[in-house]
Amino acid sequence: VKAESAARPVRKSAKLADVCYDIRGPVLTRARQMEDEGHKIIKLNIGNLAAFGFDSPEEIQMDMIRNLPNSAGYSDSKGIFAARKAVMHYTQQKHIKGVDIEDIYIGNGVSELIVMAMNALLNAGDEVLVPAPDYPLWTAAVSLSGGKPVHYLCDESKGWLPDIADMRAKINRNTRAIVVINPNNPTGALYPDELLQEIVQLAREHDLILYADEVYDKVLYDGVTHTSLASLSEDVLTIVFNGLSKNYRSCGYRAGWMVVCGDKRHAQDYIEGLNMLASMRLCANVPGQYAIQTALGGYQSIDDLVAEGGRMRRQRDLAWELISAIPGVSCVKPKATLYMFPRLDPEVYPIEDDQAFIAELLEEERVLLVQGTGFNWPHPDHFRLVFLPHEDDLRDAIGRIARFLEHYRKR
């Protein structure tokens, strides 16, 4: 046995040096500690629907239970036939042309497939355009895969729409792909077709791959509709991501999919890479795969939640009104998703370190948010708020945020 001092320190790999995922970062660890000490924390930090009483549809649960005896073995690496067939029909409903069963991969949530898609593509020096703010797994997955994330700005003054000029300016010979998160986490923006067309055109001009994260495509308010990026071209290689987590309140079932769309003739080598990575992890969680066909084919109960008077819509309206009424706070009203990304006027709130700011809020008011820089936003002047708690809890939580900010102004 070696002396303690002689033991070689076990360090994380150098691959992780630039990888950051703050949604489950140090402030959450502190919140857990406070809960263990007996404090009640109001959590506005994670889009985990079932934890707030947004139950997954009962028919999905029943089908999973019924299929459990058939789920003990590995499935095909790309997924069970019934799930992939249902996803194929879904792509048809979304007006995406030319999708075949073999173009569809079922994964342990979209998360696994994002990492897989980046791992299969990137070499050192390759750049991927990722939005700022983003859902930070995208930036992390690019870094982990040895690529370089380059952030294009979404413009708050234009309802958080991507700034196409900025996107264009950041394309160079190393750029391989553009990531588009629509509907957007963390801003709640939904992109108009004309803007999506411009992105497709950019990809076409510069021979880039499009990665379209559309996991919130049914969480839409005020009668807006969602267009899948892959439906706008048949020539540009576009990989679409979607799953059950959000639309079907089933985050824990870990059921997501990825569809390779557009012209695949020149991408056979990449597709081989995807197939290899899918095989290496054997298959996705099989009970979760059995939920997919039922979910996509059944009654779309999400529609009731987002319709006027529905619980999600009411909570969106209430949270937005209360947040916008706080002096020095402004917020683009979300058209979709479970999130809003309010701005703290730096003249009123001169914050230097937004993680410390969020940690202070937690200590003082027992409300948990995620700081804007956790979404790769370049300035410490935003935070993300999840409006999943019931209206009473939202009132309580935003009241506490308002009180904290009032003290902050008077400092």
Q: Contact positions toward ligand PLP, by CB under 6 A?
A: 47, 109-111, 135, 181, 185, 213, 215, 243, 245, 251, 256
b vs e for 115-145, b when ≥16 Cβ sit within 10 Å of the residue's Cβ? bbbbbbbbeeebbbbbbbbbbbbbbbbbbbb
Residue 283 beta carbon to ligand PLP: minimum distance, rounded to whole angstroms: 16
Residue 143 beta carbon to ligand PLP: minimum distance, rounded to whole angstroms: 16
How far is CA 227 from each of CA 23, 31, 135, 209, 222, rounded to the nearest angstrom? Answer: 28, 38, 19, 18, 16
Nearer to ligand PLP, 256 or 262 (CB): 256
Residue 184 beta carbon to ligand PLP: minimum distance, rounded to whole angstroms: 8
Residue 335 beta carbon to ligand PLP: minimum distance, rounded to whole angstroms: 15
Residue in the shown chain whose Cβ atom is closest to ligand PLP: 109
3-state secondary structure of 178: strand
Query: Secondary structure of the chain: what % helix, strand, coil (to 5)?
Result: 45, 15, 40
Q: 23 with 136: CB under 8 angstroms?
A: yes
Report d(CA 142, CA 135) in Å as an integer.
12
Residue 310 beta carbon to ligand PLP: minimum distance, rounded to whole angstroms: 20
Residue 334 beta carbon to ligand PLP: minimum distance, rounded to whole angstroms: 13
Residue 408 beta carbon to ligand PLP: minimum distance, rounded to whole angstroms: 29
Nearer to ligand PLP, 111 or 301 (CB): 111
What is the phi/psi pair of residue 108, to 5°?
-75, 75
DSSP-derived secondary structure letter, 20:
-
Nearer to ligand PLP, 175 or 184 (CB): 184
Nearer to ligand PLP, 109 or 334 (CB): 109
Residue 113 beta carbon to ligand PLP: minimum distance, rounded to whole angstroms: 8
Nearer to ligand PLP, 241 or 404 (CB): 241
Nearer to ligand PLP, 87 or 322 (CB): 87
Residue 187 beta carbon to ligand PLP: minimum distance, rounded to whole angstroms: 11
Q: In a 10 Å sphere around its CB, with 0-12 CB exposed, 13-18 middle and 19+ buried, how is residue 72 labelled?
A: exposed
- For residue 235, what are its two tokens? 């020539």
- For residue 181, what are its two tokens? 């998160």
Nearer to ligand PLP, 341 or 404 (CB): 341
Q: 383 with 370: CB under 8 angstroms?
A: yes
Nearer to ligand PLP, 191 or 408 (CB): 191
- For residue 393, what are its two tokens? 């809890």
Nearer to ligand PLP, 47 or 287 (CB): 47
Task: Report DSSP letters for 267-278, one per residue.
Answer: GHHHHHHHHHHH
Q: 99 with 261: CB under 8 angstroms?
A: yes
The residue among 408, 383, 396, 305 whose CA lies nearest residue 45 is 383
Side-chain-side CA neighbours of residue 143 (13 Å): 17
